[in-house]
Amino acid sequence: MPFLIGTDEAGYGPNLGPLVISATLWQVPDDWGDRCLYEALHGLVFAGGGPRSQRTGLVIADSKVLYNPSSGLSRLESNLLPALNAAGKTPETWRQIWEQLVPGAEQRFHRIPWYREYDCPLPMVTHATRLHRHEDTFQKIEQLGVRLLAVRSAAAFPAEFNAAVRAADSKGAVLSQLTLELVAGLLASLPEVAVLIHCDKHGGRNKYLPVLQTAFPDHPIRVQRESRDISQYCWGPPDRQTTIRFVAKGERFLPAALASMASKYLRELAMAAFNEFWIAHCPDLKPTAGYPVDAKRFKQEIAATQQRLGIPDEMLWRER
């Protein structure tokens, strides 16, 4: 497959903060077939875990491997930012990374109090020297005929998310729609060649033909498989066929793992700005990651301040 696309999200379950979805685009040699990128890049890229020696290498993995609240952003940031640099993205600030990955985000931030004035330098926690150690890794990857061409993201902030879910009457449908819009944008930038697209399952569903046909109305889409583990579809002639898979634990596919990392990093940046805003108004407030149980605690504790500032629930709270 000359081109590979992987997608994943962060923030599907929380009540606070955005849903973020990312897609990464890779070019591989023409004779690639269905070869696994992790196997092809063995010794250069690791999927996390393993011997101590691997932890100094470039890790591209499910964001859950690289980030947890107790260990912080360092491992996620130190592996993601060099990958973005390889794709031509060199953000130096919080606002720059949003504008580079989510074009038009700056205009939307003006409507959201906690983002309106916020900015900070990047990297947030990683020393710059740690980022440079992976530069030669991407040079070696390119020597194998593998190139990371693009990383793009989409974000649905609470008011936008609520409106979209009401219109679709389904949170899963919103995830699929935003994901396939990202995919369509990447496909539009490519010549007519074979492409393999790999997505995590959306809301546990197994059937995606209707949403695919809506997203790609000019193509008669063929169902190849619909099962609990994988749902696979294709369109186009055999020599330049586009194949899309929705797979349980889809981040096992390297391009989807990098998408998971980008989505998680952007969401954590969004929550950093959100928490800083509210703690400035409520100094004793404990920060939140936005997930349901703690989100209710957080909302109760800011209720009086929220009312005083005139911030409506619609801007703050995701209904599903």
Q: Output the pLDDT for position 249.
A: 79
What's the pTM? 0.95
Q: What is the dihedral of CA 175, 177, 181, 184, to 10 degrees?
A: 110
Contact 200, 246 (CB under 8 A): yes
Pairing of strands 45-46, 58-59: parallel
Q: Output the pLDDT for position 146.
A: 96
Kindly list the domain boundaries of the chain, sorted by start residue.
3-272
- Could you tell me the two tokens for 164? 């979209």
User: CATH for 3-272?
Assistant: 3.30.420.10
pLDDT digits (tens, 9 = 90+) for 2-36: 999 999 999 999 999 999 999 999 999 988 877 88
Higher pLDDT among residues 251 and 11, named by residue: 11
Name the residue among 63, 7, 290, 5 with its Cα closest to residue 175.
7
Amino acid at the residue 193: V
Q: Output the pLDDT for position 26.
A: 97
pLDDT digits (tens, 9 = 90+) for 265-320: 999 999 999 999 999 999 999 999 999 999 999 999 999 999 999 999 999 999 98
DSSP codes of every residue in 270-302: HHHHHHHHHHHHSTTPPP----HHHHHHHHHHH
Residue 52 banded pLDDT, cuts 50, 70, 90? very low
Name the residue among 124, 185, 175 with its Cα closest to residue 152.
185
Contact 285, 298 (CB under 8 A): yes
